[in-house]
A = this chain, B = another copy of it.
């Protein structure tokens, strides 16, 4: 299977703070952007997942900030599913400058599958195509 394209995000002015760098909370938002782009490229756009009655909330998030990102930059985000255990999965992210030379930040998020009543869902039974996708990625 062909590799997915990395995700690019152009820094917005409203993402900066008084230190004249991107506020650290926005990296968590960029992880979400990259994650949903990754799912969409894989054939599982998140609005479609929601329409099937599933939600994929965040169980944990972490980010290590290496070098500040500034307005005027576009960052390149590489996303990878690094663990899948049927009910939960983990994604790792690396945020680089546009050329992919400088690592600005790296982090992870962990997720589970819930139905609309916020109850855990076995995607093996409820969404076998999604189960297969995550199984292959792990």
A39-66 at interface with B (beta carbon < 8 Å): 45-47, 50, 55, 57-65
- B14–A17 touching, CB < 8 Å: yes
**Cα separation A26 to B28 with both chains bound (whole Å):** 9
Chain A, interface SS category: mixed
**A47 contacts which chain B residues (CB < 8 A)?**
70-72
Identical copies in the complex: 4
Residues of B within 8 A of A63 (CB): 60-62
Residue A118 at the chain B interface, CB threshold 8 Å = yes
Q: Does A29 contact B (CB under 8 A)?
A: yes
Interface size on A, residues (CB 8 A): 37
- Residue A103 interfacial (CB < 8 Å): no
Q: How far is the CA of A13 from the CA of B45 in the complex (A)?
A: 12
Q: Does A18 contact B (CB under 8 A)?
A: yes
Please determine whether B14 and A55 come into contact, CB atoms closer than 8 angstroms. Answer: no
User: Which residues of A come within 8 Å of B, CB atoms?
Assistant: 12-14, 16-21, 23-26, 28-29, 32-33, 36, 45-47, 50, 55, 57-65, 68, 70-72, 118
